[in-house]
Chains A and B, each alone.
Chain A
Amino acid sequence: MNPSTVLRIARWEVLKGAGALDRRRIVAGVLALVVAGAIGGAVAGGDVTHDAGLYRVGVSPDTPFHGPVSDDPTFVVEEPDRAAFESGDLDLLISGGTIHVRNDRKGRAALAELRTTVLRYNDRTLAGEPNQSAAFPVEVNLVYETRDGETTADVGGGGGDSSSGGDDGGPADGGQSGDTTAPGGTGGDSSGGTGDSSLPNVGGQPLFSSGQSGSPGDIQPPFPFGALVLAFLFVVPMNFVVQAYGASVLRERIDRRGELLLVSPASPGEIVAGKTLPYFAVMIAIAVATAVWVGGGPLSIAAVVPIALVFLASTFVAAMFARSYKELTFLTVTISVGLTAFLFVPAVFTEVTPIALISPLSVVVRDLLGEAVAPGAYLFATLPLYLSAVVLFLLGVGVYREEDMFTQRPVHLKALDAFASRIRSAKGVAAVTAALIPFVFVGELLLIALLYALPLEVTIPLLLVAIAAVEELAKSVHVYAGYVHERFQRSAGAAVAVGAASGLGFFLGEKLTAIARLVQLPELPLGEAAFTTVSGPGDAGLAVLLLFAPLALHVVTAGTTAVGASRGARRYLATYLAAVALHATYNLVVVSLVA
């Protein structure tokens, strides 16, 4: 790949984009920005109530509850009419000092809401009392301390205790907790508060646990969600950049506009790299700006890089497969939703479980919280995404040629074309299988994260079957593509050979899952079920069996599906189901053997 060619194409891409920014568009854009800014300011300034008028409360003006109820827009104040309450028109009825609650979900929710409303109302009205010690009789000093000898969700692998920051070049640790008198002196090292005023507050919540004092109503629980929202700020702009990128790639393919570049001496790889570079640069620039704004460090940016790459890579593939902008819009929406789910859902659990680390966003969250992230954890979170991005780009570049770019075919057939373009021989099959391992890895981790909420006895069998389905698909889909494109002979012997190559490729590639050990994921029961590779202790015969049994399994199942693939779509589906069943049974046996 010639860097100067890539740079020149990148420059064209930028200039072309600049040309599209005609005066009309700039005026419209500026106008939209101004109006949006004005409205945004008004929305932020005025009170936009999303939960106004949810509950109907019948309350007479002589009860003390009338004040709080009529102050809170969540409640609609009605006449305290017994008949209306009986008929279900009122959720709460307050008369004669008693609160009648309708016995359904809504009634109970209304009462819970009333409780918080009353608490807030009291704090507000009593603030003007002359006798403050009677109005606010309790003063709370809240201090956070780590316990010695207790390891609390130490996710960082070999990273040691990572609960208190301050030693990782994060923002200056000016927590208030150091000033307050820490009660007890039995060795509890008072944690230097990791909070810092340079970070914007999200929804009025303080972001991090630092000491607080005030009346009980002033206590704000530490809320990792705040950091999560900030981490999300890194991802949101990517969705927009990717839209422009996808449109630009598809533009080349419509009306043969890209033909000029294709016939130039530049290779497809150079063209794609050149076209991608400006968008990647914009994404990274936005990420750096976001990091400066929210107070993230270099680690945040390093964690965002693979996210940007995967966004670009999958959009590129989508734009190579789509027949029209309409289809591209669908595909990019799917990609946005899917990737966002993959990034966001696990990151919600950052403080809860090591599984969260499958999303690079949880690395960002930890960086924002000032916690340390071990190199192993970073690798675990980002390597699958890096590899996925590379594989996706390779797939896309494979069809970046005249015969594929300018033909109209449904998306799934295009996908088969892309696979077939990478397959020439059995060796190629093995390589593609190995290259698909990152996707298998990402898919399985996402499955674990999704099934995490269910009870364990349901999850494990379900997980084993789902994993078998994912792995068998990765071993066979390109073999099927190869047969559709007549790459191999349709004899049973040739099919078995191709399948065996695929199985071998998978077996070798699977050793990648060894990085799961870096974050001690297998220590979780679920992780154990998903990643039972070889385990050291136990008797030697079993160990050897466990070493070679996966190889045998992958070869057998991949051979089965390959034979099916050579006989057409329907046979392929049948053998695929059979292979999944076989694989799932094997998984169950191994798990019960090891356990």
Chain B
Amino acid sequence: MLALLIQLFVAAFASFLVVGLVSMYDPGSVGGNDVDVGVAGDETELLRTAAQDDDGVSAEPFDTREAAMEAFERGDVDTVVLTERLDDGRIQANVTAPDGSFRTTMVVVELRDLLQEYETTLRDQRSTHLERTPVPLPDTVDSTPYFGFTYTVLLPLLLFLPVFIGGSVAVDSLAEEIERGTLELLRVSPTSLSAIVDGKLLAAALPVPAQAALWIALLRFNGTEVANVPELLAFVTALATAVAAVGLGVAVVLRDRRLAQFLYSSGLLVLFGATLLLPENPPNVVARFAVGTPGPGTYASLAGAVVLAAVAVAGLRAATRRVDV
């Protein structure tokens, strides 16, 4: 119960973080009004055409650079682009952007888009001088900038966090009973040590798919489609079982809470880091399932996770039996 509450809190935190980070990452998505670009100098025609194609900016021509700079000082335009034809035929764009304003990032992002569009146009004009033709640029679309982020960062984070916490709690619950001697009391009862350990494994692993399902439901409620839910839940359950089994195994063998907790957390860090080197690492598996484009490697990873869980449980059984004298 408490675990679910914490999860809920993390959810609120995470969703807020998404908006915050994205607004930093792509400031164009927050600001409603356009970036006003003052344009002056030798080559303004094409730049203004490029600005007309670009939704985020509107260009304002000035006759002289002084006039443009005055407008910048007054705050009439956000930024000034002064174009100048160089001797080798290139165009030099001297850009002045406002400093120390929170619009700065947004202005520069929009400017970059504009200048890239402009560069593409110029390249097309000069393509006869190029050995290979540049690839034409697709049109801009109205797309949420954090579509990829939601699937590749947020969802894996939300799904893996319960896995790690569950394992850590499993280590604590068993090692603590051993340390305090309450395990001895439990073993006086007809239950075997294996049954006790199995119970703890279930208690640690079962809430994880429930939490994952809660997340997915929340994300859907927020308008984020999540595909392949059964596969995702199976993947998370397998990982949770494997992690909890390893944690319990460590606790059973070492019989010392601090040492077990230490080995568990550092070992988990190392193992998880190692899986990142796989061709399809766990976060990527989650992302590909959720976004609806799983490949053969994705299913192979799922199968691998299930096998891993089975091996870990078997290992835990063996370790318990050896201790159980």
Contact = CB atoms under 8 A, between A and B. Distances in A.
Given A135-B130, A334-B6, A184 B96 contact: yes
Given A32-B266, A184-B80, 15 more contacts: A25-B262, A29-B262, A32-B269, A50-B281, A51-B284, A76-B293, A115-B138, A122-B120, A138-B90, A138-B91, A139-B91, A146-B100, A183-B65, A188-B96, A222-B105
A115 B140 contact: yes
B186 interface: no
Interface string A56-77: 1000000011011000001010
A1 interface: no
Interface in B106-153: 108-109, 111-112, 115-116, 118-120, 122-123, 126-127, 129-145, 147-148, 151-153
A14 to B, nearest CB: 16
Contacts of B176: 324-326
Interface in A20-37: 20, 24-25, 28-29, 32, 35-36
B119 A183 contact: no
B187 interface: no
A129 interface: yes
A136 B119 contact: yes
Interface string A113-134: 1110011011001100111011
B69 interface: yes
A259 to B, nearest CB: 16
A507 B180 CA distance: 48
A82 interface: no
A330 interface: yes
Contacts of A353: 102
B215 to A, nearest CB: 15
A219 B104 CA distance: 13
A277 B102 CA distance: 40
Given A139-B91, A141-B95, A337-B10, A51 B141 contact: no
A149 B140 CA distance: 37
Residue with the greatest number of chain B CB neighbours at <10 A, chosen from A29, A76, A147: A147
Contacts of B112: 216-217, 219, 221
A133 B88 CA distance: 7
What's the interface size class on A, roughly? 35 or more
B19 A50 contact: no
B148 A147 contact: no
Interface in B151-186: 151-153, 156, 165, 168-169, 172-173, 175-176, 180
Contacts of B156: 50
Given A54-B287, A138-B119, A143 B96 contact: yes
A76 B98 contact: no
Contacts of A457: none
A216 B119 contact: yes
A352 interface: yes
Nearest to A36: B270
Contact of A106 (B93, B111, B138, B147): B147
A539 interface: no
B221 interface: no
A353 B137 CA distance: 37
B86 interface: yes
23 contacts: A20-B258, A36-B270, A51-B287, A53-B293, A105-B147, A108-B143, A115-B139, A115-B140, A119-B116, A122-B120, A122-B134, A137-B91, A138-B115, A139-B92, A140-B115, A144-B96, A149-B73, A152-B102, A153-B102, A163-B100, A183-B82, A186-B69, A216-B115
Contact of A141 (B9, B93, B147, B153): B93
Interface stretch (A5-13, A342-350, A458-466): A342-350
A395 B138 CA distance: 63
A141 B143 CA distance: 30
A43 B277 contact: yes
Contacts of B10: 337
Contacts of B295: 53, 76
A325 B173 CA distance: 8
A326 to B, nearest CB: 4
Interface in A369-420: none
Interface of B: 2-3, 6, 9-10, 13, 16-17, 19-21, 23-25, 27, 65-66, 68-70, 72-73, 75, 80, 82, 86, 88-102, 104-105, 108-109, 111-112, 115-116, 118-120, 122-123, 126-127, 129-145, 147-148, 151-153, 156, 165, 168-169, 172-173, 175-176, 180, 225, 257-259, 262-263, 266-267, 269-270, 273-274, 276-277, 280-281, 283-284, 287-288, 291-293, 295, 297-298
B138 A99 contact: yes
A422 to B, nearest CB: 26
Lowest 8 A-B CB distances belong to which pairs?
A: A163-B100, A184-B69, A216-B115, A109-B147, A144-B99, A348-B20, A32-B266, A108-B143
B151 A145 contact: no
Residue with the greatest number of chain A CB neighbours at <10 A, chosen from B96, B135, B263: B135
Contacts of B135: 64-65, 67-68, 118, 121-122
A135 B123 contact: yes
A179 interface: no
A581 B127 CA distance: 71
A352 B23 CA distance: 11
Contact of B291 (A106, A131, A142, A215): A106
B152 to A, nearest CB: 4
Contacts of B104: 144, 209, 221-222
A223 B99 CA distance: 12
Residue with the greatest number of chain B CB neighbours at <10 A, chosen from A50, A111, A341: A50
A169 interface: no
